[in-house]
């Protein structure tokens, strides 16, 4: 039996077939080329030249910027050919390292593209370079080059280097000699030209340019989605900025930090140590924060092994931009981004814990969380799809990276004061979070610092919301911080106050708002349970879910459930999952669907319809685990489409609290549904009970199953079975995590 993720492993889910025609240029593309000639590149070219080169996008765009930074198609095609030739000749593929070494030996000298890391050999008092893919180390590198490129000492840098080979009979002598080394990054930028050219664009056009520059198609994002995407750039333009983004898998959270800038580094949250991040006491060498503009921690929520000393040192750094080790105090300017995946829906977290639920316990310390300036709601970002990638023109990423680095010295945090005033109840630390986010967004969207009142208002509200999301979660964790009320609001020039709420607060008010009265956390006191909603609202159930179709459906949905069977004939209408299945599935927290034929698009649509019914019938804050056991499409040309269809259904289902797990088993034949609260439904034809949908896009049967015709006769049997895992209460108890105070 194979799960969906393993089956998809042989395919590149995000792969986009090369277009046969050149994408048409837009008016914005023309303006971009006119204002920033030589500093922009067509973004779809990265896919065209990447091949099997496992390098960051900024490396490829650096090369494209040298050869294909043009809007002339002939120049672009010639540039693509040149970059492909350079990669084919000079990029070191890790599994071909021995072949490249032999080529260097044969020629005596060869230029290579590889990631280079430098260490100090204290015994011999020399710096030594290590080439990651070439798998060569101990190469002597001169001190001047190291001094000019200090990042070589921490994390490594992608470089174009000349390597020579000279054999010696002395076994202690490394035969590899470094002829030259050039980091792959732009040498310098004209910030004045950048600011002046910005004036030629409207705010909407400029935001779209930035979106295209990070490789995203602005047409696929609304205004809020664009702001969320741009917030990921703030750590590169704002000093000592601390941001958290938690959300579902596959939404591109780490892409910006791994591919966008040579001035940032992405590390696994479990691999970091105090010595690596801050300073090594033994050598006195400063760590990552001393050399990089942004240090991002990937899979941060999955790291359960935490060094408490690291948490304490990081806590001081996040607050004061400094850290002490031994008797010395160090300062640094690196921003920090903490990225992680969520396994629960937002309403589930709001009901049972808080929005920091996924973080390791050591980082759920209110004092640590209070240092976070902004919480990016990753659950609002759609899973990455092929059409979300840009084919338009954008800045060569290392050009933009250097622009953002140059603007780190500027401060736009007070620009809102010409129009607005923050409420005095907002604490200094809360104001710092708001102001730094606002400053970063201003530098990105309005790099000259000039903006209209409405434009400033939009950025200020977004900045306040992100900090409010942090503070409201802290209040759930630490009861002692509720003593001082905070109003996240601002006043305009007329003195009118404007309240700011988070989007999830507006969507789930009954779960978000809590009454912190005598027993704020239920019977258990602080940390002993979950507070009740201030204004409970009726939850949905089988009756409400079924009522959306017909009165007969509603009547049957609330009738007593009995064992037995039902027969259906070909051509029959009026049958839906709402009447056939939902009454027997409602209330279950674990459901197993066995159906060997979920392959074709209409079969996937049937599955999605059933999962959406389950989502509509449950309480928003509840979650249901659904296991689908099906067979894999045997024909290779159709298998990829089936797997991608199932992946898309899983993404949509997981987002609404119906957590789908797909397992592929070619030995199954039966078609049935089993629940953990005591029912088995034997399905004669599985879920595929209707005729295939017609080509008429307005056919009522597309949206209402009752109008569809039964394909062929079948029977359904309802059988009472032993309850699995103690039923609903036991299942929920095993998954729920109680709110607790963190020391």
What tens digit of pLDDT does each residue of 450-476 get?
999 999 999 999 999 999 999 999 999
> And the tokens for 596?
């060997």
Note the pLDDT of residue 514: 65
- Which residues, in sequence order, are bridge partners of residue 176? 165
Tokens found for residue 46: 């990265």
Cβ atoms 210, 392 nearer than 8 A: no
Residues in the chain: 743
Residues 553 and 504 in one domain: no
Same domain, residue pair 577 and 617: yes
DSSP of 526-542, one letter per residue? TTSS-PPBSS--PPP-H
How far is it, in rounded angstroms, from Cα 81 to Cα 67? 9
Torsion sign over Cα 386, 389, 393, 396: negative
- Does 213 fall in a domain? no
DSSP string, 436-497: HHHHHHHHHH-TTS---HHHHHHHHHHHHHHHHHHHHHHHHH-GGGGSS----EEE-TT--E
Q: How far apart are the first and last CA of the chain?
A: 43
Q: In sequence order, what E strands does 283-402 have?
A: 294-298, 322-325, 328-331, 335-341, 374-377, 393-395
Alpha-carbon distance of 614 to 566, in angstroms, equals 21
Under 8 Å CB-to-CB from 329, ≥6 apart: which residues? 322, 323
Buried b (16+ CB within 10 A) or exposed e, 449-465: eebeeeebbbbbbbbbb
Indicate whether 517 belongs to any domain: yes
| pLDDT tens per residue across span 239-275 | 999 999 999 888 888 888 888 888 899 987 667 888 8
For position 578, which CATH number holds? 3.30.870.30
Same domain, yes or no: 502 and 550: no
Together in a domain, 494 and 641: no
Backbone angles phi, psi at 501, to 5 degrees: -125, 155
Hey, is 519 helix, strand or coil? coil
- How many domains, in total, are found in the chain? 3
Which of 125, 154, 183 delimits the end of a domain? 183
**Is residue 494 located within the same domain as residue 555?**
no
Which of 183, 210, 237 terminates a domain? The answer is 183
Q: DSSP letters of 212-261?
A: HHTTB-GGGS-HHHHHHHHHTTHHHHSTT-EEEEEE-TTS-TTHHHHHS-
**497-499 vs 489-491, strand pairing mode:** antiparallel
pLDDT digits (tens, 9 = 90+) for 187-216: 678 999 999 999 999 999 999 999 999 999
3-state SS class at 718: strand
Please give the structure tokens belonging to residue 94.
């890790």
The whole domain housing 496 covers: 411-524
**Residue 289 is assigned to a structural domain of this protein:** no
Residue 196 neighbours by CB distance under 10 Å: 12
Q: Confirm whether 62 is domain-assigned.
A: no
Question: Distance between CA 183 and CA 185 in Å, rounded?
Answer: 6
Of the candidates 458, 490, 524, which is a domain's last residue?
524
**In degrees rounded to 5, what are phi and psi of residue 110?**
-150, 140
**Helices in 656-724 by DSSP H: which ranges?**
none
In a domain, 162, yes or no: yes
User: What is the four-CA torsion angle of 466, 470, 475, 480, rounded to 10 degrees?
Assistant: -120
Burial category of 43 from C-beta neighbours within 10 Å (exposed 0-12, middle 13-18, buried 19 and up): buried
Q: Are residue 555 and residue 520 in the same domain, yes or no?
A: no
* Token pair in block for residue 652: 């949509």
Question: Do 445 and 560 belong to one domain?
Answer: no
Note whether 690 and 655 are within 8 A (CB).
no
Looking at the fold, whether 580 and 511 belong to one and the same domain comes out as no
In a domain, 426, yes or no: yes
Which residue numbers in the chain have pLDDT < 50? Answer: 12-21, 517-558, 727-743
Q: How far is CA 729 from CA 207, 572, 610, 733, 735, in A?
A: 48, 39, 23, 6, 10
The token duo for 427 is: 């604490």
Structure token digits, residue 439: 């400053």
Q: Residues near 197 by Cβ (< 8 Å), separated by ≥ 6?
A: 35, 36
- Please indicate, yes or no, if residue 166 is contained in any of the structural domains: yes
**473 and 596 fall within a common domain:** no
pLDDT > 70 fraction of the chain, expressed in percent and rounded: 87
Biggest CA–CA distance in the chain, Å, is 92
The reply to whether 507 and 628 lie within a common domain is: no
**Contact predicate 603/687, CB 8 Å:** yes
Q: Which residues, at least 6 apart from 265, have a Cβ–Cβ distance to it below 8 Å? A: 154, 155, 257, 288, 292, 294, 295, 296
Do 562 and 709 reside in the same domain of the chain?
A: yes
State the burial class of residue 688 (Cβ atoms within 10 Å of its Cβ: 0-12, 13-18, 19+).
Answer: buried
Q: Is 64 within a domain?
A: no
697 and 553 together in one domain: yes
């Amino acid at each position: 039996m194979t799960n969906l993720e393993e089956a998809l492993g042989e395919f590149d889910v995000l792969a986009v077939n090369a277009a046969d025609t050149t994408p048409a240029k837009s008016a914005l593309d023309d303006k971009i080329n006119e204002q920033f000639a030589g500093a922009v590149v067509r973004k779809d070219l990265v896919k065209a030249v990447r091949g099997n080169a496992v390098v960051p996008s900024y490396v490829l765009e650096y090369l494209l910027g040298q050869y294909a930074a043009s809007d002339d198609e002939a120049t672009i095609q010639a540039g693509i050919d040149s970059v492909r030739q350079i990669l084919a000749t000079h990029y070191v593929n890790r599994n071909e390292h021995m072949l490249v070494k032999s080529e260097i030996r044969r020629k005596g000298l060869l230029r290579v593209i590889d990631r280079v890391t430098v260490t100090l050999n204290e015994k011999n008092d020399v710096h030594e370079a290590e080439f990651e893919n070439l798998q060569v180390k101990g190469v002597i590198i001169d001190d001047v080059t190291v001094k000019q490129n200090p990042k070589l000492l921490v994390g490594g840098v992608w470089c174009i280097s000349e390597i020579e080979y000279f054999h010696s009979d002395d076994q202690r002598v490394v035969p590899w000699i470094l002829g030259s080394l050039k980091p792959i990054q732009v040498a310098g930028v004209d910030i004045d030209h950048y600011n002046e050219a910005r004036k030629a664009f409207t705010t909407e056009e400029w935001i779209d340019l930035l979106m295209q520059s990070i490789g995203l198609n602005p047409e696929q994002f609304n205004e809020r989605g664009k702001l969320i995407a741009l917030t990921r750039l703030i750590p590169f333009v704002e000093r000592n900025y601390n941001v958290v983004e938690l959300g579902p898998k596959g939404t591109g959270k780490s892409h910006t930090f791994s591919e966008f800038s040579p001035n940032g580094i992405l590390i696994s949250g479990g691999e970091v140590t105090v010595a690596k991040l801050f300073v090594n006491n033994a050598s006195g060498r400063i760590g990552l924060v001393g050399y990089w503009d942004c240090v991002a921690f990937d899979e941060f929520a999955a790291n359960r092994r935490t060094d408490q000393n690291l948490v304490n040192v990081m806590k001081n750094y996040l607050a004061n931009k400094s850290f002490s080790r031994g008797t010395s105090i160090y300062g640094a300017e690196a921003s920090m981004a903490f990225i992680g995946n969520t396994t629960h829906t937002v309403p589930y977290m709001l009901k049972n814990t808080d929005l920091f639920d996924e973080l390791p316990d050591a980082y759920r310390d209110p004092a640590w969380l209070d240092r976070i300036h902004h919480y990016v709601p990753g659950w609002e970002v759609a899973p990455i799809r092929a059409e979300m990638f840009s084919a338009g023109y954008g800045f060569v990423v290392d050009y933009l990276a250097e622009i953002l680095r140059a603007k780190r010295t500027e401060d736009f945090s007070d620009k809102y004061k010409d129009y607005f005033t923050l409420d005095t109840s907002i604490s200094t630390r809360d104001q710092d979070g708001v102001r730094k986010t606002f400053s970063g967004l201003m530098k990105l969207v309005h790099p000259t610092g000039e903006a209209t009142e409405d434009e400033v208002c939009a950025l200020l509200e977004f900045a306040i919301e992100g900090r409010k999301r942090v503070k409201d979660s802290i209040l759930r964790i630490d009861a002692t911080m509720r003593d001082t009320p905070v109003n996240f609001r601002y006043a305009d020039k007329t003195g009118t106050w404007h309240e700011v709420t988070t989007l999830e607060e507006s969507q789930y008010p009954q779960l978000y708002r809590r009454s912190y009265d005598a027993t704020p956390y239920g019977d258990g006191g602080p940390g002993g349970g979950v507070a009740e909603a201030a204004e409970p609202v009726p939850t949905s159930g089988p009756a409400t879910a079924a009522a959306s179709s017909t009165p007969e459906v509603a009547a049957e949905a609330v009738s007593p459930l009995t064992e037995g069977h039902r027969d259906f004939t070909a051509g029959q209408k009026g049958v839906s999952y709402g009447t056939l299945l939902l009454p027997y599935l409602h209330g279950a927290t674990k459901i197993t669907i066995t159906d060997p034929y979920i392959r074709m698009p209409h079969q996937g649509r049937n599955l999605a319809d059933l999962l959406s019914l389950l989502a509509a019938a449950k309480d928003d804050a509840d979650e249901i685990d659904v296991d689908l056991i099906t067979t894999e499409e045997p024909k290779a040309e159709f298998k990829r489409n089936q797997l991608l269809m199932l992946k898309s259904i899983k993404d949509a289902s997981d987002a609404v609290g119906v957590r789908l797990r797909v397992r592929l088993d070619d030995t199954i034949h039966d078609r049935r549904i089993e629940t953990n609260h005591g029912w088995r439904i034997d399905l004669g034809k599985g879920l595929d009970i209707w005729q295939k949908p017609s080509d008429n896009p307005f056919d009522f049967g597309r949206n209402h199953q009752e109008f569809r015709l039964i394909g062929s006769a079948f029977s359904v049997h309802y059988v009472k079975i032993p309850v699995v895992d103690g039923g609903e209460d036991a299942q929920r108890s095993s998954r729920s995590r109680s709110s607790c105070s963190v020391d």
